Every structure is written in structure tokens, then in C-alpha cells.
């Protein structure tokens, strides 16, 4: 018994870090969200005023939420489909497939700021590679001010997010696909199934747990894409790429409304929780266990 009690000592360092860097800031942020504070003067308790303002009187917060949903849906759909498609092609551990996996994974290890500078240059309407390429192949009509057009900017950044993180999701899907017994495919093919039927009846049900992780992780990544958006557009033009994380930053460090920013952060946390739980429930029916 003494032995088992001493084992609890091993969790103390991790528990201390968790309490210090997550629980305490969360509680402090929650308390701050009921206050008005500019970072210098004394905090003033204002009750639910920040939350009332956020939900009923802040059109930019609503716009940031809408942009976040557009960004999240675009990234989740295309990143999940592309990563699963390439994972199926690269499932076997051949030398060529391993090289391709490394190439796909490489953008993941590049910092988001570096990725933003690379794509900022490529999207440049005057000297960017994309418009130059379209002009060289006779598609000048498709040239665009990719980051300066309010209708296109959020989707242009979503494409960069997909490019940067698809390789990471490929690794997760490959791990899930390699755990599927080959005998199951042999059985369905002997029964006369084609490739689509094999995918629908064998691959997807058994890879669904990996897909759930990919979708949830991609969703959280999409809501936290602060550095990429801030480096590419700063939330502009005309708030067309302002997402919740960048708006919270602007509220806190440009407007010095730390109490209101704390309220936005609490709302942000609740939104992520609701979306993620909803996705888990939606995908749970596809699990094979």
C-alpha cells in the first residue's frame, strides 16, 4: 500500500505544470472576462457586459466567427480528403512511397511564418509565381489579387494551410491503413467487390477512428491559425480574413481592452469545444468498434 501511494508522486510534476500553465490562466482569464481593464489602471468589475457586447453588439466578432467557419470547413474538407487519398496511394512501405511521404511531410516542419513569407511572395499580384504561371499558359483572366480580394483572401489562406499540413495527416492515415488486415481485402475481392466497394465496406469503417482524430486535430489547427493569417494579411482586407484568434489579439494589444479580449477568449474556447464534440458525435457512427 505504501508502495502504491508513492507512485502518485510521479504525477506531481506533470500536474503542477498543468495547473500552472492551463488551469490557473483559464481561471484568471474567466475572472478577467467579467472586468474592464486596459492593462494599466485598476480592474473594474462590470459583470456580464463584455459577454453581452460580444453576443449582441460586436459585428466584427460575428464576422470573425463567420470567417473562422469558412476557413475551418474549407481546410477540414480538403485536407481530410487529400490526405486520405494520398495515404491510400502511399500505404505500402516501398522506398519510393517512403520518399514521397517525407516530401509531403516536409512543409509541416517549416514554421508558419516562413510558410507565410513563401506564399505571400507567390500570391503577389505583380511578381508572384502564381499569376506569372497563369499568364504564361494563357490564363491571364484567372489572375487575381489573391490576398487583396476580400472574396478570395480567406480561401487563399485556407489553401496554404492545406498545403502545409496535409503531409502530417497523411502519416496518421497511413498508420490507420496499415493496421487493416490484408485478408479482409482478399475476402471482399473474392466476393466480387470492386475498389470502391472495398473502400466503402472495409477501408472507411476501419480507418474512421484515424479520420476522427484527423478531423478534430485539423479543426483545432484551423481555429488556431493565428500566425499564418497574421503574417499574410493581418486580418485584412476589410476584416475579410479576421478570425477569432487574430481579433482577440487586436482587441487586447491594439485596443487595450483586456477584459473584453478575455471574454472573447472564453467564447472562443466554448466554440472550439462545441464544434469538436459535434464532430466526434457525427463521426462516431462510422467507427468499427
Residue boundaries of the structural domains of the chain: 53-284
The one-digit pLDDT tens for each residue of the chain (289 residues) are 455 677 778 888 889 999 999 999 999 999 999 999 998 888 999 999 999 999 998 999 999 999 999 999 999 999 999 999 999 999 988 999 999 999 999 999 999 999 999 999 999 998 899 999 999 998 888 899 999 999 999 999 999 999 999 999 999 999 999 999 989 988 888 888 888 999 998 999 899 889 988 998 899 889 889 999 999 999 999 999 999 999 999 999 999 999 999 999 999 999 988 988 887 777 765 554 4
Statement: the pTM of the whole predicted model exceeds 0.85: yes
In this prediction, residue 286 carries a pLDDT of: 52
Q: Which DSSP string corresponds to 255-283?
A: S--HHHHHHHHHHHHHHHHHHHHHHHHHH
In this prediction, residue 275 carries a pLDDT of: 87
Query: Residue 84, by phi and psi: left (phi above 0), alpha (psi -120 to 50) or beta?
Result: alpha
- Contacts of 235 by beta carbon, 8 Å cutoff, 6+ apart: 229, 241, 242, 243, 246, 247, 250
Q: Environment class of residue 28 by beta-carbon count within 10 Å: exposed (0-12), middle (13-18) or buried (19+)?
A: exposed
Does an H or E element contain 225, and which? none
In this prediction, residue 288 carries a pLDDT of: 45
> So what CATH class is 53-284?
mainly alpha
Amino acid at each position: 500500500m505504501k508502495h502504491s501511494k508513492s507512485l502518485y508522486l510521479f504525477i506531481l510534476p506533470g500536474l503542477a505544470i498543468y495547473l500552472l500553465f492551463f488551469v490557473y490562466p483559464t481561471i484568471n482569464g474567466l475572472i478577467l472576462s467579467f472586468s474592464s481593464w486596459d492593462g494599466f489602471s485598476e480592474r473594474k468589475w462590470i459583470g456580464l457586459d463584455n459577454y453581452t457586447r460580444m453576443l449582441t453588439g460586436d459585428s466584427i466578432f460575428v464576422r470573425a466567427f463567420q470567417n473562422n467557419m469558412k476557413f475551418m470547413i474549407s481546410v477540414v474538407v480538403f485536407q481530410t480528403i487529400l490526405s486520405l487519398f494520398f495515404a491510400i496511394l502511399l500505404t505500402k512501405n516501398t522506398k519510393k512511397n517512403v520518399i514521397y511521404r517525407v516530401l509531403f511531410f516536409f512543409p509541416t516542419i517549416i514554421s508558419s511564418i516562413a510558410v507565410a513569407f513563401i506564399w505571400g511572395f507567390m500570391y503577389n499580384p505583380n511578381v508572384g509565381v502564381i499569376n506569372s504561371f497563369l499568364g504564361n499558359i494563357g490564363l491571364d483572366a484567372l489572375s487575381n489579387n489573391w490576398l487583396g480580394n476580400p472574396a478570395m483572401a480567406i480561401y487563399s489562406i485556407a489553401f496554404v494551410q492545406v498545403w502545409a499540413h496535409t503531409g502530417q495527416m497523411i502519416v496518421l492515415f497511413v498508420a490507420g491503413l496499415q493496421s487493416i488486415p490484408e485478408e479482409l481485402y482478399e475476402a471482399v475481392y473474392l466476393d466480387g467487390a470492386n475498389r470502391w466497394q472495398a473502400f466503402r465496406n472495409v477501408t472507411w469503417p476501419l480507418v474512421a477512428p484515424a479520420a476522427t482524430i484527423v478531423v478534430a486535430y485539423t479543426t483545432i489547427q484551423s481555429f488556431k491559425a493565428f500566425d499564418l493569417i497574421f503574417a499574410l494579411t493581418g486580418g485584412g482586407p476589410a476584416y475579410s480574413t479576421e478570425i477569432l484568434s487574430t481579433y482577440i489579439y487586436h482587441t487586447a494589444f491594439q485596443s487595450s481592452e483586456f477584459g473584453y479580449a478575455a471574454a472573447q477568449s472564453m467564447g472562443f474556447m466554448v466554440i472550439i469545444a462545441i464544434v469538436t464534440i459535434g464532430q466526434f458525435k457525427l463521426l462516431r457512427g462510422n467507427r468499427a468498434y
